[in-house]
């Protein structure tokens, strides 16, 4: 391979990486104003751990992926965390944002949320649906102190 071809390829790759960085940074800024408050509202509402309230916030794809038995088991586990209190930290996923360029638009955040039981690790993926956000994927786990 000629050196000029290699330089061209490297320049194109660097340009693409820079463009992805600026795109995901813009997405992060945009969604910090709408998605982050929505996450707090969703957590406040679903932390009653009532099945119908939880289902109300799920995206259609998520509802199709879980059956009643799985949802009941999930509610039993999450119920032990108690009510949502506050969010300590949320981290926007640039990777999910970048992949949304070629697929369905999804926004992912991870971080720590405070519940009655203490700090809980949170991972939530949202989709925009008619001007509001629905939960596409949702995981909570007790934070282990080492």
Q: Quick: pLDDT tens for 105-141.
A: 888 899 999 999 999 999 999 998 887 899 999 999 9
∠ CA 129-61-101, nearest 5°, is: 60
31 phi and psi angles, rounded to 5 deg: -80, -15
Q: How far apart are CA 119 and CA 98, in angstroms?
A: 29
Contact partners, residue 56, CB within 8 Å, separation at least 6: 45
Ranges in the chain, pLDDT < 70: 1, 98-103, 145-146
Q: What is residue 19's predicted lDDT score, i.e. its pLDDT?
A: 83
Q: What is residue 59's predicted lDDT score, i.e. its pLDDT?
A: 93
Per the CB < 8 A criterion, the answer to whether 146 and 70 are in contact is no
pTM for the model stands at 0.80
Under CATH, what is the fold of the domain 1-142? Nuclear Transport Factor 2; Chain: A, (3.10.450)
Q: What is residue 100's predicted lDDT score, i.e. its pLDDT?
A: 63
């Amino acid at each position: 391979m000629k050196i000029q071809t290699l330089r061209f390829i490297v320049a194109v790759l660097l340009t693409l990486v820079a463009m992805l960085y600026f795109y995901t940074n813009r997405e992060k800024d945009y969604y910090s104003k709408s998605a982050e408050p929505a996450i707090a509202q969703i957590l406040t509402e679903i932390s009653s751990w009532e099945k119908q309230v939880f289902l109300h916030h799920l995206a259609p794809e998520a509802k199709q992926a879980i059956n009643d038995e799985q949802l009941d088991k999930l509610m039993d586990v999450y119920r032990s965390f108690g009510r949502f209190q506050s969010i300590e930290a949320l981290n926007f996923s640039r990777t999910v944002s970048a992949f949304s360029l070629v697929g369905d638009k999804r926004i992912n955040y991870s971080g720590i949320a405070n519940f009655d039981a203490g700090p809980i690790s949170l991972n939530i993926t949202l989709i925009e649906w008619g001007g509001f956000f629905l939960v596409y994927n949702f995981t909570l786990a007790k934070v282990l102190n080492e």
